[in-house]
A and B are shown apart, each in its own frame.
Chain A
């Protein structure tokens, strides 16, 4: 008797997706797929809009990381209005955007770790689904939940001060920014009422890392071996190889650490990146053109960034980075669950960057916008919390957008997430008579490590269900289980 298992919706991720797993009559897993089931059509319906609307239109792809789309679009439009490719803005323009961006990293990573992922660690992968959620965390680990909530709040307040509102703000405009930071705003973040100040956020981010490292010591098998496989890694890095989440050159390494994309200018990204279309998902499959569809796929996001960069330019995060690197003897880290470790190191880096930027008087400058000679086309890349994000626009003589191409962070992780699903399903379900809820959640745990934003990826978002259907050899349905 062959079976098909469907997980729908996948939950505690951002977006609509579903997983199908086919098992033959001998109990072998024959096919696994993560389907992205939503389609928006952004690339087409944005055509004809005036180009300056793009930053506020495209951020509505995603309510979790709107700042990433807002800034990636603004960076592409900087090129179009002649403000250069990332280095041409006024100091106030660039630093306000950076502050917004690090505020968003801080809130998004806190949300993922505390609200979405921590229940699997705190209660266990096969715990009762009724308590395996943020409410369960709040009831059992109140201090941790309060910290998570307040860390996210601090990041959201930074976004509000730089972008005008917490979700779908309007701060970045082509060539710069539309407001500076007032002294009062700065003081509220530096000396705000305890605990909502920058020093406390650095302290709490360090605390979250300690929590993870302690958990790691007690659960080595899960954290080190769950769903691991070798892969290439891609991210932006600063020209000197430092981690830079806002701007840089494009670097990729293979699973051994050899450079396969050597710090190239991302304005030329179409020379290096292509996307494959597969009929069973609305999410495309990007790959490095010179390596081809089969071998050219790569991972993005926190794990990839810690593998590609040479150092982190803030002291506390750099110390943590050295420990992280030492764990794999300096070789690329290919352990799926180490995404969580990498994400928390970045959370600490974001807190340090926020604190450092808040002491910079440039934030209060009045020179906000740069305008130069108009171009017809521009590319904007940024490291979003979930990985490298590509925005590419072309305009016509009437200032209308005539072409838009977006490759969002989660889309870059499409192939790795599918491999993660396959890896977990094969190891846990092969030969098993009964498929348990815990096994199905394990598949989701592997997906959750990537913190996918399927909203973005389909140029959409919602929840992933999990449903398992049993089919016989003639493909007729004989049983169905869902969670």
Chain B
């Protein structure tokens, strides 16, 4: 049997969940024996080259590019996991959901104490930049998500146990300590 293939992405997250994956520390070496990695920010595979067994998503969706990447993941991955609070419910970036996006842009580029010289009132608006969404969306509102791993970030042991359970087909234990938020 060939090794299961794993892909990962960070959307509107902070990379903390990816760092928590790396916090499995020495277990990274057995992990390399267990799975093969495809598209991920930690390697240079920028587009899917094959169908993956497991897709791991960090972060919710705050712009059109996030939505595009998430749909690509759903298309290419048999199982999709929302990893961490941002993917599950928008997380901290969703604090902007009660505020018109124009106000956020104005504060950052027109009003702050170190942008006083922006006399032409320039806001980033180039066609190379993805469109911002009206609010930050959790992943399961955009595509179907199969599993949710909570935490900010989820602890490394939880990520490890979940991956091993998925790969070996054994049910995992979920004691309270593992599923509490922080």
Contact = CB atoms under 8 A, between A and B. Distances in A.
Interface of A: 8-9, 11-16, 18, 20, 33, 35, 37-41, 43-47, 57, 60-64, 66, 111, 115-116, 129-130, 132-135, 138-139, 142, 145-146, 149-150, 152-153, 156, 165-168, 269-270, 273-282, 284, 286, 293, 392, 403, 405, 407, 441, 455, 459-463, 465-467, 482-483
Contacts of A46: 95
A9 B11 CA distance: 12
B43 A12 contact: yes
A134 B115 CA distance: 39
Contacts of B130: 37
Contact of A9 (B41, B95, B124): B41
Contacts of B113: 270, 392, 403, 405
Contacts of B91: 60
A139 to B, nearest CB: 7
Interface string B86-128: 0000011101100101011111110011111110001111101
B115 A16 contact: no
Contacts of B92: 57, 60
A455 B14 contact: yes
Given A35-B128, A61-B14, A279-B123, A274 B22 contact: no
Contacts of A57: 92, 95
Given A37-B63, A64-B15, A167 B41 contact: no
Contacts of B116: 274
Given A63-B153, A139-B32, A274 B114 contact: yes
Q: How large is the interface on B (under 10, 10 to 19, 20 to 34, 35 or more residues)?
A: 35 or more
A471 to B, nearest CB: 12
Contacts of B112: 43, 275, 405
Contact of A462 (B23, B25, B41): B41
Nearest to A33: B128
Contacts of B23: 153, 156, 166-167
A153 B65 contact: no
A483 B92 CA distance: 31
A167 B29 contact: no
B13 interface: yes
Contacts of B109: 277, 284
Contact of B114 (A20, A129, A280, A405): A405
B122 A45 contact: no
